[in-house]
Amino acid sequence: MFKGILIEKDGNSSSATLKDINDSLLPEGDVTVRIAYSSLNYKDSLAITGKSPVVRRFPMIPGVDLAGTVEASSNPDYQVGDSVLLNGWGLGETHWGGLAQKARIKGEWLVHLPSAFSLQQAMAIGTAGYTAMLCVLALEQHGITPDKGEIVVTGAAGGVGSVAVALLSKLGYRVVAASGRMEEAAFLKGLGAAEVLGRAEFASPGKPLGKQRWAGAVDVVGSHVLANVCATTKYGGVVTACGLAGGMDFPATVAPFILRGVTLAGIDSVMCPRSARLEAWARLARDLDISKLDAISHGIGLSEAISSAPSLLAGKVRGRLVVDVQR
């Protein structure tokens, strides 16, 4: 038996509870992992609260990521005792996920834990941090270097945002953090933001084009915020869009794209090809100042993941929540 959060369908709604689950119920897979840490991501909170149809199969263990030790394996790439991590691939959506003490998965989804990180640090970064790195890689791939100008990071005090601020500042970019929580300005400056702007500047319907300011952007918010970021991006700039914390809509015009050559780069962490994942984790090991992870993350127990989900969706959690599945 192992402990895990189980989301069960209850008529038209769903409910999440901490349960003792029999190993025999684990899904098919060639590697069994004894999970040490998972993390609470935005999507996990949607799944736990049932606010969005994230879960595609019931019953479901939520948790889009995990870090742990291989307990059994018939996959030649993974031996018993190996330290591994996993992000996405439908975990917590179509396949039982990380908010439990055990998982059985396809070995091809796993990544060997980079030696730079402990299991706990890997989940302090988690899917949000790995997605932040995918955004940084996309900016680089489109030629955005620190000399090109400022990078704006929206939803900066959240999980993706805080890791993006830390990464970009370490790489030498001038980072402007946009946040609805000005009380987190000192936290964001501690991560390396040169300036902190209030969310209100971005949140209302704006003009098709505004004063050119950003060479690049990491947007986790969507909706008017993303539209305004695009409208104020400089000629040839690049906006990476990875989130919908403010809404799924995109009330914009094509003006920034056809008049200023702005690129809108979509970022997906779930089905991201293996080579890009390995690159992202290698770059996290190289470019993330690990000493900042203590400020970015704090630990909770497995049962607290359920009670923390509504606050995360309400934008009240600073940085990242690491889930110690043993408590």
Q: Interface residues with ligand NDP (CB under 6 A)?
A: 41-43, 127-128, 131, 155-161, 179-181, 199, 220-221, 225, 242-246, 267-270, 312, 315, 317
Closest CA to 46 of 315, 312, 326: 312
**C-alpha dihedral (214, 219, 222, 225), degrees to nearest 10:** -40
Asked whether 273 and 108 are in contact (CB, 8 A), the reply is: no
- Comparing CB distances to ligand NDP, the nearer of 129 and 237 is 129
CB of 235 to ligand NDP, least distance (A): 26
Spatial separation of the C-alpha atoms in residues 55 and 90, rounded to whole Å: 9
Closer residue to ligand NDP, CB minimum distance, 2 or 187: 187
- Minimum distance from CB of 271 to ligand NDP (Å)? 9
Minimum CB distance to ligand NDP smaller for 62 or for 315: 315
For tokens 């909170």, the residue is 45
Judged by beta carbon, residue 32 or residue 179, the one nearer ligand NDP is 179
Of 61 and 153, which has the nearer Cβ to ligand NDP?
153
N-term to C-term CA, the chain: 15
User: What is the C-alpha separation between 151 and 145, in angstroms, rounded?
Assistant: 10
Least Å from the CB of residue 179 to ligand NDP: 3
CB 244 to ligand NDP: min, Å: 4
* Cα distance between residue 102 and residue 108, in whole Å: 17
Q: Which is closer to ligand NDP, CB of 225 or CB of 239?
A: 225
**Residue whose pair of structure tokens reads 């955005």 in the numeric block:** 144
- Coil/strand/helix, residue 224: helix
What does the block give as tokens for 4? Answer: 């895990």
Report the nearest approach of ligand NDP to the CB of residue 310 (Å).
11
Q: Any idea what DSSP says for residue 53?
A: -
Comparing CB distances to ligand NDP, the nearer of 142 and 148 is 142
- Is 61 or 188 the residue whose CB approaches ligand NDP more closely? 188
User: What token pair was written down for 311?
Assistant: 């606050």
Q: Shortest gap between Cβ of 1 and ligand NDP (angstroms)?
A: 31
DSSP characters over 126-149: HHHHHHHHHHHHHHHHTT--GGG-
Of the pair 41, 169, the CB lying nearest ligand NDP is at 41
Q: Where are the alpha helices (DSSP H) in 142-177?
A: 159-170
Please list, in sequence order, all residues whose beta carbon lies within 8 angstroms of the beta carbon of residue 304, skipping any fewer than 6 positions away: 323
Residue nearest to ligand NDP (CB): 158
**Least separation, in Å, of the C-beta of 147 and ligand NDP?**
27
Pairing of strands 111-112, 83-87: antiparallel
Q: Residue 185 Cβ, how far from ligand NDP at the closest point, in Å?
A: 10
Token pair for 11: 């008529």
Q: How far is the CB of 34 from ligand NDP (least distance, A)?
A: 25
Instruction: Provide the phi-psi class of 261: left if phi over 0, else alpha when psi is between -120 and 50, else beta.
Output: left
